[in-house]
């Protein structure tokens, strides 16, 4: 049972345009969300995060939006660059006592075409 869902396995956009990657979750206890980027043969690298007390967090070309009522978050990349081509993972965590673990989506492969 996937608690974190990235329903689009792949996405292709033109360089300079906006990339929008979506993520849905089912557990209302999740209170912290992260996006990671992964290049082939490398481990994922942290990109941006958002806590449930916010609805938007921005870092340069990357913005994450959180809609708690819809249990939905999205990552916007503007403008998209060919170097952004990678697999993007959405992850969520909830506080369970003093323990947290990250629950991951299956990833969306983004291709930015020159």
Name residues contacting other proteins, limited to 47-66 (CB under 8 A): 49, 51
Q: What whole-number distance in Å separates Cα of residue 84 and Cα of residue 43?
A: 15
Q: Which is nearer to other proteins, 18 or 39 (CB)?
A: 39
Stretch that binds other proteins, among 12-20, 65-73, 75-83, 97-105 (CB under 8 A): 97-105
Q: How far is the CB of 107 from other proteins (least distance, A)?
A: 6
Stretch that binds other proteins, among 46-54, 55-63, 64-72, 74-82 (CB under 8 A): 46-54
Q: How far from chain centre, in Å, is Cα 13?
A: 17
Q: Which is nearer to other proteins, 15 or 104 (CB)?
A: 104
Kind and range of the H or E run holding 110: strand 108-113
Could you give the 3-state DSSP secondary structure of residue 84?
helix
Residues ≥6 apart with Cβ < 8 Å to 28: 71
């Amino acid at each position: 049972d996937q608690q974190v869902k990235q329903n689009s396995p792949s996405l292709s956009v033109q360089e300079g345009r906006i990339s929008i990657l979506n993520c849905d979750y089912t557990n209302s206890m999740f209170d912290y969300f992260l996006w990671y980027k992964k290049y082939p043969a490398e481990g994922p690298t942290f990109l941006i995060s958002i806590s449930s007390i916010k609805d938007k967090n921005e870092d340069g070309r990357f913005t994450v939006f959180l809609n708690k009522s819809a249990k939905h978050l999205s990552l916007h990349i503007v403008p998209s660059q060919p170097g952004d081509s990678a697999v993007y993972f959405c992850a969520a965590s909830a506080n369970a006592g003093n323990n947290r673990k990250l629950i991951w989506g299956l990833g969306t492969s983004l291709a930015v075409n020159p």
